[in-house]
Amino acid sequence: MARRHGVLGRGALAGAVAGTVVVLWFLAIDLLRGLPLRTPTFLAGALFGAEPGGVGIGRIVAYTALHYALFILLGIAMAALLRRVALGAGFFIGIVVGFLLFDIMFYVSVAVTGTNVVLRLGWPAVLAGSVLAGIALVATLRMTGVAPPVSVRTLVSEHPVIRDGVAAGLIGAAVVAAWFLLFDLAFRRAFFTPAALGSAIFYGATGPAQVDISIATVLGYTVLHVFAFVIAGLVSAAFFAGAERYPPMILGFILVLTAAGAYLFGTIVLFGIWILEVVGAWVVAIGGILGMASIIAYLWHEHPRVILRIFQGGPLERPR
C-alpha cells in the first residue's frame, strides 16, 4: 500500500511539474508578443463559452486549476504505466509523451469547446510546449525513482539507428541553414528567410512587410527546423539500416524522400505562398535538395554496403 501511495505521489508531482512547464512556456510566448496572459484568457474563454473581453480572473483561475488537475492525472497514469511495464524513463520516451499530449489537446479541445485550440494558439507553439512537458514529466519520474534511468549514451550505443539518424538530421539542418544564411547575406538581410518562415508559422504573416526579424522568431523557427530534420534523419537511417539486409527497401526510401519534398512545399504554401514568391521557389528547392543530399551522403558513408549491393546486383538476402 505504501509503495502504491509512493507511486501516486511521485506521479502527481511529475504531472504538476509538466503542467508548470506548459504554463511557463506560454507565459514566455505571451510576454514576447506583448500580451501577458493571452493564452490562459483565450483558453478559459473557449472552455467556458465567454468572449475574451468577458473572461475575468475567476475563470482564469478555474481553468488553471483544471489544467493542473489534468496534468496530475496524466502524471499518475504515466507513473503507474512505467512501473507496471518496467520501462526505462529516457529522453525519447518524453518526446513520445509530448506528441501524445499534442494529439490529446487537439482532439479534446475540438470535442469539448468546438474550437481548434491548436490552430488558434499556433500548432508549432503547442507542439513545442507539449514536447517540453513530456520531457519534464518523464525526467521527474526518473529523478524520483519511479522508473529506471536510461542514459543517452546507452541508448545511442544500443541503437545505432538513433545515433546515425540524429547525426544525419543535424548535418542536414546545418547545411540548409548555412545555404539560407549565405543567400540572405548576398541578396537580402541576414536571417530574412528563417524570419519569414517563422513569421508565417507563428504570427500568420501574409507578406514581406510583416516579417519579424527578431531573435524570438528566428530561434523559434530554427528549433522547428532542426526538429524536422532530425525526424527526417531518423527515418532515413531506419531505411538505410534495413536496406543493408534487404536492398529494395531503398526504393521505399526514395518514395518517402519524394513525398517529403512535396510535403515541404505543401506546408510552405499552406502557411504562406508569398514566401515562395519573395524568397524564391528555387532557393527553397535547392535548400531542400542540399539538406537531403547531406543526409544521404552521411548515411552512405556509414552504410557503404547498401550502395555497393544496389549497383553490384546479385541475390538478395531477405530479412529474417
Residues 187/92, Cβ–Cβ less than 8 Å: no
pLDDT over threshold 70, residue 52:
no
Mean pLDDT (the chain, rounded): 78
**Mean of pLDDT values over 66-75:** 91
Q: What is the pLDDT of residue 309?
A: 61
Please check the confidence at residue 278 and state whether its pLDDT lies above 90. Answer: no
Report pTM.
0.58
Give the pLDDT band of residue 313 (cuts 50, 70, 90). Answer: low
What's the rounded Cα separation, in Å, for the pair 237 and 229?
12
Average pLDDT over residues 294-320: 67
Which residue(s) pair with 68 in the sheet? none
- Band (pLDDT 50/70/90 cuts) for residue 12 is very high
Averaged over 52-76, what is the pLDDT? 85
Task: State the pLDDT at residue 18.
Answer: 92
pLDDT of residue 320: 45
pLDDT of residue 120: 76
In terms of pLDDT, which residue wins out, 72 or 84? 72
Please compute the mean of the pLDDT values over residues 129-133 and round it to a whole number: 88
The residue with greater pLDDT, 84 or 127, is: 127
Do residues 10 and 145 lie in contact, with contact meaning Cβ atoms separated by under 8 Å? yes
Query: Which of 34-43, 50-59, 266-275 is least confident?
Result: 266-275
pLDDT tens digits for range 185-194? 988 888 998 8
Query: What is the tens place of the pLDDT at every residue in 134-152?
Result: 889 988 888 887 766 555 5
- Give yes or no for a contact between 137 and 94, defined as CB atoms under 8 angstroms apart: yes
Question: For residue 162, which of 95, 86, 262, 249 has the smallest C-alpha distance?
Answer: 95
Mean pLDDT of 298-320: 63
